[in-house]
Amino acid sequence: MAGKITVIGPTREEVMKVLRAFLLIRKTDKREYQYVQSRVKIIFISCMLGFTNEFFMPEKVWFANRSVIRNNDLAWLSSLIVHEAFHATQFKKGMYVLPLGKKLEAPALLVQRKFLRKIEGGKGRGEIESAVKKKYWREMRGDKRSFSYFRNLLHLLENKKLQLTKMGA
């Protein structure tokens, strides 16, 4: 079931980039696009720098720091959205428990890699290997500030204390 995704960001630039990433997903794989639409409800781009991001289930909210959107190319960004949406599947199967570790990341990375290959004929493969090597989930775990910030935002969202604008994806 495809629904509209709400995108919230500090500037129009980031919001539009997410939108373009969605169009790339649609262009690359229609089925994946539908999956993403049913698995993600809100994308919240924080004004903080750094690459920490976190997907919350069952809320279906993905929080990403600004650099995740700004400093990644469009192919990588769209594959990351596909990756995050896959975590929703893990959650449905009762596997998704935070904090993330290799057990949850490995299958999500596999889905991401497959998608990247479809976009650019394998060009994104090297990137994904280096991402795995860096064990970014460990790096993110050290970023306590972002994680508590995301939780605060989630709390505000749940209590309807944020004003939102809907954007069709």
Q: Closest distance between Zn ion and the C-beta of residue 46, in Å?
A: 17
- Please write down the long-range contacts of 120-124, taking CB distance under 8 Å and 24 or more positions apart: 120/75, 123/75, 124/75, 124/76, 124/79
Kindly tell me which of 16 and 147 has the beta carbon lying closer to Zn ion.
Answer: 147
Q: Taking CB positions, which residue lies at the least distance from Zn ion?
A: 108
Q: Closest distance between Zn ion and the C-beta of residue 165, in Å?
A: 27
In sequence order, which residues have a C-beta less than 8 Å from that of residue 110 and are 6 or more positions away?
Answer: none
E strands within 27-125?
42-45, 53-56, 61-64
Could you tell me the two tokens for 162?
């944020």
Could you tell me the two tokens for 101?
């570790």
CB-based contact 5:21 (threshold 8 Å): no
The stretch among 14-22, 44-52, 100-108, 111-119 that binds Zn ion (CB under 5 A) is: 100-108
Residues 29-58 that bind Zn ion (CB under 5 A): none
Q: How far is the C-alpha of 129 from the C-alpha of 103, rounded, in Å?
A: 16
Closest by CA position to 7, among listed 29, 27, 23: 23
CB-based contact 79:115 (threshold 8 Å): yes
The stretch among 4-12, 38-46, 101-109, 144-152 that binds Zn ion (CB under 5 A) is: 101-109
108 near Zn ion, judged by CB under 5 A: yes
The stretch among 30-38, 71-79, 106-114, 151-159 that binds Zn ion (CB under 5 A) is: 106-114
140 near Zn ion, judged by CB under 5 A: no
Using CB under 5 A, count the residues that bind Zn ion: 1
Q: Closest distance between Zn ion and the C-beta of residue 7, in Å?
A: 19
The stretch among 10-18, 30-38, 59-67, 102-110 that binds Zn ion (CB under 5 A) is: 102-110
Q: Closest distance between Zn ion and the C-beta of residue 67, in Å?
A: 17
Q: Closest distance between Zn ion and the C-beta of residue 63, in Å?
A: 13
Check residue 7 and report its DSSP letter.
E
Positions touching Zn ion (CB under 5 A) are 108
